[in-house]
Structure 1
């Protein structure tokens, strides 16, 4: 028997994989929505906290967040509890579609790679990396307009930029054209390829390592949870600068000055120009603004996603097995 880790999603029918992935995405999204809004607000903040000019009233056009707790308090004070779920409708649709496409593509790619002739066969970790990268790229591209809408609604402060979800789609189509829905896609794919590849490869590698750990949460699948948390945090840190660039690019366009941060710079030349500009004007720290809350978010999000996926798959298979037996 091979000592390589067995690919996680080689189990279940296409229908079971789609349903389990969708449920996992929905549950995970609802749980981490507030942290997601906080992270987006921090990533869009232009002023460097070390710049004394950023504290002058005449230079501060939007709220100045000085950390996760400050962001939380400001949103709660100015926008109420519902402010933490801004953009949740497109985000739920995003996670529903993304989870299904991601898990299905991962499963199909893994199976395809495992059917290669023996002389072209790949180690289990390499299969997981490639399948994860392909799955992430496909899911990111297909669902990107929903991701952009999620970011724009989460970036809204006390002023409403869009009256409704349908209104936002209509306005973007009219003012920015089809390309408006794909602002920052290059950064999104550039981020997700290494992220998903690293995540799945690390998860498959760490899962057997943590499998024998006995914790009070063992009944909740603590081994899977720990593997998911560790893999996600390491991968997230590696690609976080591209995530920041993606968020900055997503709010470009005619509505740029209407969001909570009204002084978001213009990035006209794409991903590379945005990276260069952020480093030049804000320092390397500007690329990692919001990393702390992102890592805090990654832990429960990944744990809930992987745990919910595997438990949902188990329930589906048990129910369908009971039906077949009758």
Structure 2
């Protein structure tokens, strides 16, 4: 087994892994929050900019690219507009990071316990562990993810007055299942994404670390995280767009910043509808900012996780020295 795999799987206790994962999630979210809002706004834009105005059926803003969206949000909603949904998102990232890394190490240990003659290759084990970790973390934090999307989708006119009010409204008008709209797309996306990400990260980390180009301050972890994230994010992006479209369904659908979001039901019908009416560009709308977001998010996550774990391990050994 490679040293990189052993390092990520076997350093630290379960409590330390959970703590390092939580810290990594919080820091990562703080860094990429504005990019997340921009991506969501673009994903919910159902028309093509090449369509004539008479065919767009627009009721809301027209966003043009990443920079154009950034400028328009700042102009119409101020700096705070770029941080809409940040409270549920921070709670989601805190919980997600903890569950993700805990589930990853637990699954890795289970796979390592398989007798040698039946053991799968390390790359396959990494894929399975990453996929399982992603599925567990996504399901556990999905209501927070849905709230993050709905708050980020709000324009100058607020749909929900507060986080507590949003929970009450969804529970009253949509029931418990309302908090899990689009979960199928979320799990369908995160399983291959996290599997590809962890497998790619652990394969790329030793390669990047041994590169002839020196990487200062442990940045090889960040570079490996960026490359792994870009590849896996692009592969599953249409499912991410589908998840966002499904998350804003319900009685408040026509009150968000884009008031012409169609009625969707189910992962496959949503994918088919977007493909039919918006084409391939519709499935990948917001991909540029999504990749811009994924790169620093993954880099900061993996870099912070490694540093936090190193700090806790050093603190644990210090009294014994």
Please list the CA deviations of residues 118-154 of structure 1 after superposition, one character each: whole Å capped at 9, or x if unmatched: 1211111111000000000000001100000000000
One of 287, 303, 306 as aligned partner of 1:307: 303
Question: d(CA) in 2 for partners of 1:220 and 1:260?
Answer: 42
User: Does residue 13 in structure 1 map to residue 13 in structure 2?
Assistant: yes
Find the counterpart in structure 1 of residue 228 from structure 2: 231
1:50 shift after superposition: 1.8
What CA distance in whole angstroms lies between the structure 2 residues aligned with 1:220 and 1:95? 25
**1:88 corresponds to:** 86
Sort the Cα spacing of 1:210 and 1:249 in 2 relative to 1 into closer, same or farther, 3 A: same
Deviations 1:160-203 (A, max 9, x none): 10010000000000000000000000000000000000000011
Cα distance 1:175–1:3, how it changes in 2: closer, same or farther (>3 A)?
closer
User: Given the superposition, is the C-alpha separation of residues 177 and 190 from structure 1 closer, same or farther in structure 2, using an over 3 Å criterion?
Assistant: same
Q: Secondary structure at the match of 1:208?
A: helix
For residues 242-321 of structure 1, the aligned pairs below 5 Å read 242-268=239-265, 270-321=266-317
Count residues with an aligned counterpart. 320
Question: CA 1:246/1:320 → structure 2, altered by over 3 Å: closer, same or farther?
Answer: same
Cα distance in 2 for residues equivalent to 1:44 and 1:141? 22
Matching of residue 219 in structure 1 with residue 203 in structure 2: no
Give unmatched runs, 5+ long, in structure 2: none
Q: 2:194 aligns with which of 189, 193, 196?
A: 196
Distance 2:2 2:24 in 1: 29
- 2:69 is aligned, of 64, 68, 71, to 71
Contact 1:4/1:125, CA 8 A, preserved across alignment? no
Partner SS for 2:161: coil
Give the whole-Å Cα distance in 2 for the aligned partners of 1:9 and 1:62.
47
TM-score, normalised with respect to structure 1? 0.95
Segments of 5+ residues of structure 1 without an aligned counterpart are none
| Aligned counterparts, 1:148-159, within 5 A | 148-159=146-157
